[in-house]
Amino acid sequence: MGYNLKYKVEEEYKDLVNDIIKFVTILIVLNLLMFISNPIENVFLGNTYLKLIIYIILGLTTYWLVISKVIQFD
């Protein structure tokens, strides 16, 4: 029994949503592995790391919604 989440997203935003999910997953797994390797020095999802994730999401969103519309390659 598997679960498959499906959401209706406009075609224009599918790559944006996919990139956000991809980057957040990579960053959370990275933080988890850092925490497991040295829990004394590393905090799992601490304030600094959450800020980093938010800044990266804002950067990705800015790219997909602004920069990719201004600069287009044929």
Number of domains in the chain: 1
| pLDDT reported for residue 1 | 60
Residue 27: which domain range? Answer: 11-70
Q: In one letter, which amino acid is 16?
A: L
Q: In one letter, which amino acid is 13?
A: Y
| pLDDT reported for residue 51 | 96
Residue 31: count other Cβ atoms within 10 Å of its Cβ: 19
Burial class (CB in 10 A: 0-12, 13-18, 19+), 74: exposed
pTM comes to 0.81
Per-residue pLDDT of the chain (74 residues; tens, 9 = 90+): 667 777 788 888 899 999 999 999 999 999 999 999 999 999 999 999 999 999 999 999 999 999 988 988 77
Q: For residue 45, tell me if it sits in a domain.
A: yes
Q: Nearest Cα to 19, choosing from 54, 74, 64, 73?
A: 64
> Quick one: tokens of 63?
């790219």
Q: For residue 40, tell me if it sits in a domain.
A: yes
